[in-house]
Structure 1
Amino acid sequence: MPLTFDLQRRPDPASDERRAEIHANPGFGVHFTDHMLTATWTQGQGWHSGHVGAYGPIQVMPSAAVLHYAQEIFEGLKAYRHADGSVWSFRPEANAQRMQRSARRLALPELPTEDFIASLEALLAVDEPWVPQAGTGETSLYLRPFIFASEAFLGVRPAREVTYCVIASPAGPYFAGGLKPVTLWLSQHYARAGAGGTGSAKCGGNYASSLAGQLEGIENGCDQAVFLDSGSQTYIEELGGMNLFFVTRDNRLVTPELTGSILEGVTRSSILELSKELGLDPEERRIPIEEWKDGVASGEIREVFACGTAAVVTPVGELRWDGGSAPSTAGTDGGEVTHAIRSALLDIQYGRTEDTHGWLTRLA
């Protein structure tokens, strides 16, 4: 039976003036809308008790399983305002399907795709004014659905009570300084995920495990860290939260293949499909780190970029590691292919071009 969501409006919503103030400088993940959505899953009853209420603290017991065994997953997607005032999301069914795959890996109950999309619609029905206006630059409302084990129980087994939530945050560009190449640190002491682990699931543990490498990179003047396979430390995998692409001299668009320890990004799969329309030959395979180092030096690799929901497409500049570096191919703001792919994605998301792929879903 499909989930339904009752609504209890908060008595003290933000004023129009306060929303306008936030929209003028939203940052990323700093401010949150008036409401949040919750639902509960219990063994034997399934999903129930859908509710939209005031954004605020979540009450859990100190023995809640998530606090001890990290049984949780999340998603990230955006709501975009189009020129006619309508609000749309980009491939939400792909996010729903990935959340289902993550749930299976973390032994959590799966939320049906129709309930996932209905939850976004229910929250937007009340918080639609929080979606920034069209024509205000690269702004959107970031949506964060997540599931966690809320059962009060200390024992290593799948939880018998689980909570689903959706919160929302007005967002500006992910990199506040504008589109400029990021410098990457090659992590040689840490791995983001290993074979048979949770690398292909979108769970918090993967991001926590990337932080030590990221801090190491920051200490060496870099913006982010790139991780290699945990077994041989030979093959490129991904950044802490973004997938990587390489543009070759002969117009191939190469990205690391999905090995089970790499997250299958929605932006990644969209780029692979769009690339054919831009005259590129997409290729998924294992990429040795030496190929990156040698390729940018020889000119065989002419552009490198990273992608993800938050940052969309970001040019990659210099690659550094302990004892050396590989030069940037990005110039001051990225290459021609990077810009073409980024523009193609944004034009679809913001309704500036026809959605020939059927990727957009109207939320409000």
Structure 2
Amino acid sequence: MLERLQALDDRYNKLTDLLCDPDVLADPVKLREYSKEQSDLEETVMVYREYKKTVQGLADAKAMLAEKLDDEMRELVKLEIAELSEKQEELQSQLTILLLPKDPNDDKNVIVEIRGAAGGDEAALFAGDLFRMYSRYAERQGWKIEIIESSPTELGGFKEIIFMITGKGAYSKLKFESGAHRVQRVPATESGGRIHTSTSTVAVLPEAEEVEVEVHEKDLRIDTFCSTGPGGQSVNTTQSAIRITHVPTGLVVSCQDEKSQLKNKEKAMKVLRARLYEMKMQEQQKELADARKSQVGTGDRSERIRTYNFPQSRVTDHRIGMTLHKLDFVLQGELDEIINGLITAERTARLQTDNESA
């Protein structure tokens, strides 16, 4: 493991030199390629350097202990050895996890689909809450959001909303959000003050490139229709909305967010490719009997993955048993604690699986 880590450190240093090379700086393709490679290596290399520093500090402390010391200094050195030994173990575990193969989709943009499920108007309102939560989280990450399709309700919720999030590592952090989200609260329309339980489903799909999913024009049926809802004078007068049916699978995607028919078609094709890519991934996972089985869950949308309890200001992620009593902050997009917990749980489970199969 240490030889591999040192090779990564050497490569990181080499990339630093390359990124200062005038020839590379003049070549946008190489500059982007080397910058991404260095960025991908950075966390592992920084932890490895901290590990080397800790190992050296531990060796120095043990050497000092062999010298003639007074009792007070000897106790201080023993304390330092204990602290450094614990830190070495922690860093070694961290490095083992960092060396696990990355999910090839982790760096991709995502398409998020939120739908109100059980609960009627209240489920649609909760779908709106989830959309705003992810929007604020995306803003905190410096990511860009683009709505593809939405079906708003009169009360301010959404029967369905589909949007794209563009930014580095979007899928790596949001992939655990797929599933059924449950809300427990007193609806605004409830005069008796009773707590209702409603659900909305979330699907997070990695954006698929054209080279990853081959879509033939002959397999598509494309219909145009007039947009509905807000949008100015052109609404209901121009056939800018697009509906694409992928005949072999029966998948149907529509988009009417843009005034341009061409832009609506481009957005709809992105959603279609993402859904076809997800189907392809699911088929591959079914073929692999030992596909990732972790405490994070299977990602099945029928799973109840999280509960948002308003009376108790509580959020519980059922996959990792994490409960936070700060619902308001979570709905404002402060999802880091939950998402980091899910990432840690997934990595730990993968490490355990790798150890069992070794």
Using the size of structure 1 for normalisation, the TM-score is: 0.27
